[in-house]
Structure 1
Amino acid sequence: MAFAPNGNALAVGTYAGTIGIWDPRLPELQLLLQGHKGGLTQLLYTHDSNFLLSGARQDPHLLCWDLRMAGGLAGGDGPKAALYQLPRDTATTNQRIAFSLEPCGRHVATGGCDGSVRIAMGVILQVFDLQTGSLVDTLPVASDTVNGCAFHPSLPLLAVATGLRTT
């Protein structure tokens, strides 16, 4: 679950891969988003409350939803598909792979099973650009799963967590 920073919406993920958007002041569902293949593991609004990022188990993409035209919130049908599908290597694991939004709100970073982190301008860290949906950088981090990452709130610093449960 995640509240929008402006307090006007609550996003709730399901095991079925859907996301319900609720207005906390109203009793009925405002919008239903569909697009994930597995159960939701993380939801995160951008700082301006206009976009919602979502990740799910065994789903090779983070989805970025543009809620500015979200019909249920403004009287229409809502988005039919995610604005962006940001790729990540999580399709073969039930492990929760976290992602983090940069404080300026432009970049999202996500881990994966290939030991890397991906950074988008949202075990490699990938960074994606949320204005374009394009991959900005891929950083080799570990030989194991990168299952967590977090941007520092004021410094140019990204912390990562790695590891895989084995029996």
Structure 2
Amino acid sequence: KKQGQTGIISCIAFSSCHSMYACGSYSHSAGLYSCEDGSLLALLPARHHGGLTHLLFSPNGYHMYTGGRKDSEILCWDLRDPGQVLFSMHRNVSTNQRIYFDLDQSGRYLLSGDTDGVVSVWDTLTDDSDTVNRAMFNMFARACSVHPFMPLVASSSGQRKFCWPSDSEDSESDSEEGNVMSSNGVQQDNALVLWWACPLGSTNERGQEEESAVIES
């Protein structure tokens, strides 16, 4: 529409606490809408440098996180004062890929992959966004997701690869074989990996303690 939020709608997210949802568009904007009648509740200012690719509400419904393509910032918005950015978190996003992020069940820790294949973890309760706690894990990750109740993190990797035409001098004809794309030298990393986000052996040790307690009683 000419009025309200413009651009192609590229992502959507629903609040688990309030009867509203958010839409992001390639025009760099995010809008909040009512689930009851679809009316526009608020239109957030265009603070991103690229089109929005991911939206995420916090578990308490007070905050919303937004990220865009070719944009190094994840912005945290205060929905009690729409239009107010609380802080930003920096990651490397140098392509148009959708680099997804996720929150743990408490809503305190935010995890995101990047185009360098690194997963970053921020403590969102830190007041100063410049000194927000950040942990790096060496993994080829473009996106990550946190299990709702187990200490598991899923990361995915991969991107579209364009191969160069075969440069074989033996093939001079216009046949199909002469036009086959060569995949030599193309490195592909397409994987879905599950990571144990807890000290190794902690579950076993806890189980042994519970078992010994039962035996003693």
TM bucket by the smaller chain? 0.7 to 0.9
C-alpha distance in structure 2 between counterparts of 1:24 and 1:89, whole Å: 34
Q: For each residue in 1:52-78, what CA deviation from the matched residue of structure 2 results, as whole angstroms up to 9, or x when unmatched?
A: 0111111111111011223xxxxxxxx
User: How far 1:114 moved relative to its partner?
Assistant: 1.1
| 2:77 match: secondary structure | strand
Q: Which runs of 5+ in 1 are unaligned?
A: 71-78, 122-129
TM-score normalised over the length of structure 1: 0.81
SS at 1:30's partner residue?
strand
1:135 to 133, 136, 144: 133
CA shift for structure 1 position 164: 2.3
Q: Give the match for residue 90 of structure 2.
A: 87
RMSD (Å) for aligned C-alpha atoms:
1.5
Q: Aligned with 1:16: secondary structure?
A: coil
Q: Which has the higher contact order (CA 8 A, sep 6+)?
A: 1
Match of 1:163 among 158, 166, 178: 158
Q: Which runs of 5+ in 2 are unaligned?
A: 1-11, 163-217
2:66 aligned to which of 13, 31, 54: 54
Name the structure with the higher strand share: 1
Query: Cα–Cα, structure 1 residues 140 and 2, in superposed 2: closer, same or farther, change >3 Å?
Result: same
- Whether 1:118 and 2:120 are equivalent positions in the alignment is yes
Matches within 5 A, 1:1-167: 1-26=12-37, 28-34=39-45, 35-70=47-82, 79=83, 81-90=84-93, 92-121=94-123, 130-132=124-126, 133=129, 134-142=132-140, 146-167=141-162
Question: Contact 1:54–1:63 (CA<8 Å) still a contact in 2?
Answer: yes
The whole-number CA distance in structure 1 between the counterparts of 2:35 and 2:14 is 9
Indicate if the aligned counterparts of 1:118 and 1:135 stay in contact, CA closer than 8 A: no
SS in 2 for 1:83: strand
CA distance in 2, matches of 1:113, 1:87: 12
The structural deviation recorded for 1:27 is 5.1
TM-score of the pair, normalised by structure 2: 0.63
Aligned residues: 146
The answer to whether the 8 A contact 2:117-2:142 is kept is: no
Asked if structure 1 preserves the Cα contact closer than 8 Å seen for 2:75 and 2:85, the reply is yes
Identity %: 34
What is the CA deviation profile of residues 38-63 of structure 1, one whole-angstrom value per residue up to 9, with x for unaligned ones?
A: 11111110111100011111111111
Letter in 2 for 1:101: L
For the residues of structure 1 that align with 2:49 and 2:20, how far apart are their CA atoms?
24
Determine helix, strand or coil for the equivalent of 2:30.
strand
Alpha-carbon shift at residue 26 of structure 1 (Å): 4.5
Q: Whose helix fraction is larger, Structure 1's or Structure 2's?
A: 2
CA distance in 2, matches of 1:135, 1:87: 12
Equivalent-residue separation in structure 1 for 2:52 and 2:13 (angstroms): 12
